[in-house]
Amino acid sequence: GAVVSQHPSWVICKSGTSVKIECRSLDFQATTMFWYRQFPKQSLMLMATSNEGSKATYEQGVEKDKFLINHASLTLSTLTVTSAHPEDSSFYICSTPRGIGELFFGEGSRLTVL
């Protein structure tokens, strides 16, 4: 069964609005959550790493004020795309390590900004 549940699976929004994506860990506590972005026919690019109870660590070139990450509990991490623009349209996917090394991915969220 799914280890990480991600919602929504797809969302369409108007330019300038904000969109929140949630990732929930099922039956275990996710201390760390990685957030990736994937453009069509491209690889998964790490955006940020969130750790429960502390501020997220953003990769170089990722605007932390635009991509707000919250990891307030051991079972929930959220990514909010603020003031979304068409260039933010992408596939966003969360993942958490379980054990030593292996990543468990959420189902992914396809964002389309009109």
Partner 1 sequence: GENVEQHPSTLSVQEGDSAVIKCTYSDSASNYFPWYKQELGKRPQLIIDIRSNVGEKKDQRIAVTLNKTAKHFSLHITETQPEDSAVYFCAASIVTSYDKVIFGPGTSLSVIP
What residues make contact with partner 1 under the rule CB under 8 A? Answer: 31-32, 34, 36, 41-46, 49, 91, 93, 95, 97, 100-103, 105-108, 110
User: Residue 2, CB half-sphere, CA atoms under 13 Å: how many?
Assistant: 14
Give whichever of 89 and 91 is closer to partner 1, judged by the CB atom: 91
User: What secondary structure letter does DSSP report for 66?
Assistant: T
Give whichever of 49 and 112 is closer to partner 1, judged by the CB atom: 49
Give whichever of 82 and 91 is closer to partner 1, judged by the CB atom: 91
Q: How far is the CB of 16 from partner 1 (least distance, A)?
A: 26
Give whichever of 82 and 107 is closer to partner 1, judged by the CB atom: 107
Q: How far is the CB of 83 from partner 1 (least distance, A)?
A: 26
Query: What SS3 state is found at 86?
Result: helix
Q: How far is the CB of 103 from partner 1 (least distance, A)?
A: 6
CA distance 8 to 90: 13
Nearest to 96 by CA among 44, 62, 50: 50
CA distance 14 to 69: 21
Query: What angle is formed at CA 44 by the lines to CA 101 and CA 109, rounded to 5 degrees?
Result: 100
Q: How far is the CB of 104 from partner 1 (least distance, A)?
A: 9
